[in-house]
Amino acid sequence: MEKLETGINPESKYFNATYKPFLISKFIRRCKKAGVEKSKSVSYDKYLFLDVGDTILHLKKSAGETYLEILEDAGLKKEENAGEFYRKAFSESWHKMHENAPPEHRDKYRFHSGGTPGWWKELLEDFLERIPDRVPIEKAFPVIYPRFADPELWNVDPGFWELKDYCENKNWGLGAISNWDHRLRDLLEAKGILEHLNPLIVSAEFGYEKPSPKIFEEAMRLVGLPGESLVYCGDKYELDIVVPKSLGWRSYLKKEKGDLQSLSELIQFL
């Protein structure tokens, strides 16, 4: 089968995960517009895209603390008052993995020799080497890997639902662009969010991650709108602000001392 005008092979996993659902949604909207359905037609001339991690979803505890709790279940004997030490150790491991990221902002999960599980296993191995009384990786990994996909570990930003309702009432399209692995869709579905984000572009599916312009350009292709009609919100300046602005988007930083701290505050900028 030939590639579409977007350059995406319709037989690819990315097409099936990202583009196919969006095309179906566009078809439904066209049917509504043509009067096939009685309900009001939906067409967007402006679109809001959100980051996911630390923007829509927040870990209930820090990643280091979460790792520590899970490792205790796997047999780690935690030292007293060592929480900050473990948080620092995880942060150092995380930064080391990103220093060795693939070139050209290719997705770290997609291009790791072991795929998504392999990347997380390498991160865990580095973390375990930094802490005392380390748990064998063979024992720790099967416990940790599935836990971060557990919806019970995550909270939805309290302002998301108000923002979602605003977008529906004011005819804004709502999507997401996320540097995440292949488990994100299942997690968002479990949290009741997936159906409200269309399109959802996941770096592990697409092959490039922020701050590559390619992933933002893909969003523009999917919705068929220029940058001037698009808004992006995320929590990391280099990943979420610089590149979309260079493409003509408006972009807003969600963090303490940023443009906003809750997604409901984004409404004032729309």
Q: If phi over 0 gives left and psi between -120 and 50 gives alpha, with beta otherwise, what is residue 75?
A: left
Sign of the dihedral through C-alpha 51, 55, 58, 64: positive
State the pLDDT at residue 41: 37
HSE of 211, CA atoms in CB hemisphere, 13 A: 15
- Average pLDDT of the residues in 87-104: 90
Q: Are 245 and 218 in contact (CB under 8 A)?
A: no
pLDDT tens digits for 174-212?
Answer: 999 999 999 999 999 999 999 999 999 999 999 999 999
pLDDT tens digits for 138-175?
Answer: 888 998 899 889 999 999 999 999 999 999 999 999 99
The model's pTM is 0.81
90-98 CB contacts, 8 Å cutoff, 24+ apart: 90/62, 90/63, 90/64, 90/127, 91/64, 92/130, 93/123, 93/126, 93/127, 93/130, 94/63, 94/123, 96/126, 97/122, 97/123, 97/126
pLDDT tens digits for 27-66?
Answer: 444 333 333 233 233 579 999 999 999 999 999 988 878 8
Sign of the dihedral through C-alpha 111, 117, 119, 120: positive
d(CA 246, CA 217): 11
Sign of the dihedral through C-alpha 93, 94, 99, 101: positive
State the pLDDT at residue 81: 59
